[in-house]
């Protein structure tokens, strides 16, 4: 499993293409490794349609928060606003949402789940998906062969436990992920409550716990005390790092897109360097 190749800050000139084309540096680089997720899986490196039989897997204990049902029209409105780009992964032709679509989904899901109540935001939603699939919906597999489905790599049992009826639907899956992250943040906060941390350290540790909760089984989570992150499986540590990278990328892209849209709305604000043809 390779470390993720990260791109630097995307230039404003490149973002001009993002608004019309939607292609990001992260799509052009190697996808983030799909590290161990909900039941300490290893990605199988294969792309396939989720088998119908996968939905019959027996359900695990439900988390504290379940995925609240919403009106189909809400999802339909979001789907209508998404734009998709072709991308190749593991020799297969797949699709990935463009940058504005990624940010739209992450923000909508974070707001719907109330992530601000637990100290998280859309950047964390974006970051976890970055760590899971680099925003390329596909199928993975656990070490025991259990499928991991869609853009958020839900196992069927976990998807059913949070009330997600179709983990291969990116719009539903991102919203269910946000709800799952809310539980993860509450769990993480309890695990680090006894540590003496500055606000900055607390924010980092809280997010470490979020990745651990999402990435490991209950048994694996129990081993973490907030101090022993370096002793966790390498896949989990990569997940933490890739989620952190993704969250930073989300903030940078959001700011740069906002700046670009402002310039497009006010052409007179373009700099000479940006507009000249030499």
Residue 262 pLDDT class (50, 70, 90 cuts): confident
Q: What is the pLDDT of residue 266?
A: 78
| CA 231 distance to own-chain centroid | 24
Work out the average pLDDT over 225-239: 95
Q: Greatest CA separation found in the chain?
A: 64
Alpha carbon separation from 164 to 48, 85, 107 (Å, rounded): 20, 25, 19
Mean pLDDT, rounded, of the chain: 78
Nearest alpha carbon to residue 143 among 32, 55, 217, 214: 217
Residue with structure tokens 């943040």?
185
Q: 93 versus 44: which is more confidently predicted?
A: 93
Nearest alpha carbon to residue 138 among 71, 82, 92, 85: 92
CA dihedral sign of residues 19, 29, 245, 119? positive
Helices and strands, number each (H, E), in the chain: 11, 4
Evaluate if residue 37 carries a pLDDT over 60. Answer: no
């Amino acid at each position: 499993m390779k470390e993720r190749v990260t791109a630097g800050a995307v230039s404003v000139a490149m973002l001009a293409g993002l608004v019309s084309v939607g292609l990001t540096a992260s799509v052009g680089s190697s996808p983030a490794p799909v590290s161990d997720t909900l039941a300490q899986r290893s990605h199988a490196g294969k792309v396939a349609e989720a088998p119908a039989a996968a939905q019959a897997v027996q359900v695990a204990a439900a988390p504290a928060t379940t995925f609240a049902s919403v009106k189909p029209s809400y999802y339909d409105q979001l789907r209508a606003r998404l734009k998709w780009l072709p991308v190749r992964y593991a020799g297969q032709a797949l699709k990935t949402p463009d940058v504005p679509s990624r940010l739209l989904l992450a923000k909508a899901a974070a707001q719907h789940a109330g992530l601000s109540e637990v100290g998280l935001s859309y950047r964390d939603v974006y970051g976890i998906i970055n760590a899971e699939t680099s925003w390329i919906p596909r199928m993975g597999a656990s070490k025991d062969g259990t499928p991991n489905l869609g853009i958020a790599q839900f196992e069927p049992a976990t998807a059913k436990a949070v009330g997600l009826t179709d983990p291969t639907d990116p719009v539903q899956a991102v919203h269910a992920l946000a709800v799952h992250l809310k539980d993860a943040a509450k769990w993480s906060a309890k695990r680090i409550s006894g540590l003496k941390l500055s606000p900055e350290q607390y924010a980092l540790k809280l997010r470490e716990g979020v990745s651990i909760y999402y990435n490991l089984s209950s048994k694996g989570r129990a081993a973490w005390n907030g101090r022993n992150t370096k002793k966790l499986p390498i896949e989990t540590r990569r997940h933490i790092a890739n989620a952190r990278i993704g969250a930073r990328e989300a903030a940078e892209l959001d700011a740069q897109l906002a700046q670009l849209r402002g310039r497009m709305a006010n052409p007179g604000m373009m700099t000479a360097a940006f507009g000249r043809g030499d």
